[in-house]
Amino acid sequence: METKLEVSTICLPNDPQNGESQKDDNDQLFGAEYEIGSSYKPSEMKGDMQHKEVPCAVCFQKKKTVLLMIPGRKTCYKGWTSEYSGFLMTDYKTFSSKEYACVDKDAEPLDNKNGNENGALFYGIRTKCGSLKCPPYKNATDVRCVVCTK
C-alpha cells in the first residue's frame, strides 16, 4: 500500500507566538520561494524572481460571500468580479505532492533576499496534451488563472 501525503500552502503571520525549542529532527515548516527564472517564467510575467521569497496574500471583499479560483481562464464568467488574474503554479513536476496556486501576473517578492533554500517552490506550469484534451487546450502553453468573487 502506497502512502500519499497531502500538502497545503499556508499563510503564516508576521508576528508568530512561537512554541518551545525542540531537539528532535522533524522540521517541516518552510518558507516559499519563486522558481520562476527565465526558463519557468510565464511569458507575460514581469521580472526575474528566481529564489525570491513568496509573500502571503489573503483575499477579502466586504459583502461578497464566494471566492473562486478558475484555472485555465484569465477572465471571470458573467456575473462574477475579477479580483486578479495570473498564472497557475505548483512545485516541480517530479515532486510528489501537488497543490496549485493562482499567482498574480504582477507578483512581487516578499523582499530582495536571493537565497536558494528550497522550501516550498512555486514553478510556472505548462499544459501537456494527452489526457488533457487538445483542443480546446493547446500543448506546452502557460496555464492562466483568475480569482473571482460574487
SS3 for 11? coil
pLDDT at 118: 73
Which residues on neighbouring strands pair with residue 126, listed in sequence order?
Answer: 142
Closest Cα partner for 43 from 148, 147, 144, 146? Answer: 144
Look-up of cell digits 489526457: 131
pLDDT at 115: 76
pLDDT at 57: 67
The burial class, CB within 10 Å (0-12 / 13-18 / 19+), for 41 is buried
Indicate the Cα dihedral angle 124, 130, 132, 137, nearest 10°. 80
pLDDT at 20: 63
* Assessment of whether the complete model's pTM goes beyond 0.75: no
What is the DSSP code (8-state) at residue 30? Answer: -
Q: What CA–CA distance (Å, rounded) separates 94 from 119?
A: 15
Look-up of cell digits 518551545: 20
The burial class, CB within 10 Å (0-12 / 13-18 / 19+), for 100 is middle
pLDDT at 82: 94
Query: Could you report the average pLDDT of every consecutive run of 10 residues in the chain (150 residues)?
Result: 48 64 59 70 74 71 80 92 89 70 85 76 83 86 89
126 in Cβ contact with 143 (< 8 Å):
yes
State the greatest distance between any 2 C-alpha atoms of the chain, in Å, as a whole number. Answer: 54
Q: What CA–CA distance (Å, rounded) separates 106 from 108?
A: 7
